[in-house]
Structure 1
């Protein structure tokens, strides 16, 4: 287990592959941790450095008191990459991880060769919606939210599979304060103007059965970035890398080949 100790939080991460190899960095969604990417890894090309981390308030990372700001989450990613001496990486973010990716690309373009924005947008939901969820977590813990969240996350077909139970367990075991802290960051975040300034290779992925960030919303974010590629994955909800890791990897690998990463 690797931990980066910062002044206000310890970040848990995993760093595998040759240190000199081109890096692929993954940021998790709200309510998950770095295991979100487990099923995808076997489909990726050899010769990459793979870095995953638990966002603050999630997984094995520290859980400072809520609320958090999006700028703080972006700064966490920035400090992790600086700590690991990573440059010219492709940063893959899902949902709130995709918002972090957008913010990082605006702030530190020197760190990035390209971005993959999955199931995300420049603005997600309304502030009131997120404050209602924060209040629900405060009253009833993570289990109070899980039925609605899981319905938005997964297609009906996947919710009938045995492995669905492990995703319920992952969600319900996240620290309530960490979930609330990151929900507050989303509530206060509008990246529309900032994302429209981006000029770098971008792949934007949506699941056609996503109940959290519908495909049209994700597509609108792709349209903000000149030259961005939009990919729709059929038969998948908010976590297309979980439901269709083969299809997600096919899109990701084609993007990496197109931008020559690795060269």
Structure 2
């Protein structure tokens, strides 16, 4: 089960600074956020984690659920002695952040959802993807990532190859289990219960979580803001780190001003 799993993590930034938790996407690891750490670790204490079966996190037995994944992040913060934090995530990482904000509102200062959703498209297809990966491995997903994870002009770059290497290194069961968590995830009717400032960011060319899907998160929250980043797809924080970092810094700073 995913609840309470000891997620592998990394901490960067000064002691005593506000904490920012970063959750990665399906098929990537915590190094998805290297560009964010480089830009923000001088002013935030950044906690990055690997999903189960991804990076250096263990691969627990299923079933995986978004609530269980969120509870595992809370358990990580408990072990680190962190009470409240800003939470941001890409795709499933953004869904985990939403689930955590709804289930543990006292642990969250702000929420940023990048290329994420309150319910992902075609939920019936996710168990099929899980079955494919269990049978053929995560390599079966690699060919479909250009054009989905990143725009075609980004394909073939060193950064694109680094992202694909993360996918190849992901354990099959970890990937499949997270697919099944996505299949059963739906917080659309709970978005109004999010009581912290929300930033939702979409890539204009993202076919996995197109802008209108991401916008629903901001529109559903009581205090939501929606932004797009041009010429980017699903992993826009890696494709367009300058633009994403600027939006994130502005959001976090504005929340800090409200809270001070």
Which TM class, normalised by the smaller chain length? Answer: over 0.9
Q: CA deviation at 1:205?
A: 0.6
Q: CA deviation at 1:72?
A: 0.8
2:104 paired with 1:108: yes
2:221 paired with 1:231: no
| SS of aligned partner of 2:246 | helix
2:214 paired with 1:218: yes
CA RMSD of superposed structures (Å): 1.8
Contact (CA 8 Å) 2:237, 2:244: kept in 1 or not? yes
Query: Unaligned stretches of 5+ in structure 1?
Result: 1-5
2:129 paired with 1:154: no
Q: How many residues get paired?
A: 258
2:197 paired with 1:208: no
Q: CA deviation at 1:195?
A: 2.0
2:203 paired with 1:199: no
CA distance in 1: counterparts of 2:223 and 2:175, whole angstroms: 34
Q: 1:56 to 1:173 in 2, by over 3 A?
A: same
CA distance in 2: counterparts of 1:97 and 1:187, whole angstroms: 14
Q: 1:65 to 1:150 in 2, by over 3 A?
A: farther
CA distance in 2: counterparts of 1:173 and 1:135, whole angstroms: 18
Q: CA deviation at 1:48?
A: 1.4
After superposition, the C-alpha distances for 1:62-85 in whole angstroms (9 at most, x for unaligned) are 001233111110110111112212
Of 158, 168, 171 in structure 1, the residue corresponding to residue 164 of structure 2 is 168
Bigger CA drift: 44-53 or 97-106?
A: 44-53
Q: 1:162 to 1:33 in 2, by over 3 A?
A: closer
In structure 2, the partner of 1:3 is none
Q: 1:260 to 1:175 in 2, by over 3 A?
A: same
Q: What is the correspondence of 1:55-204 to structure 2 with a 5 Å cutoff?
A: 55-204=51-200
CA distance in 1: counterparts of 2:112 and 2:254, whole angstroms: 13
Bigger CA drift: 148-157 or 40-49?
A: 40-49
CA distance in 2: counterparts of 1:139 and 1:150, whole angstroms: 22
Q: CA deviation at 1:162?
A: 3.5
Contact (CA 8 Å) 2:11, 2:47: kept in 1 or not? yes
**Structure 1: 4+ residue segments shifted above 4 A:** none
Bigger CA drift: 150-159 or 237-246?
A: 150-159
In structure 2, the partner of 1:48 is 44
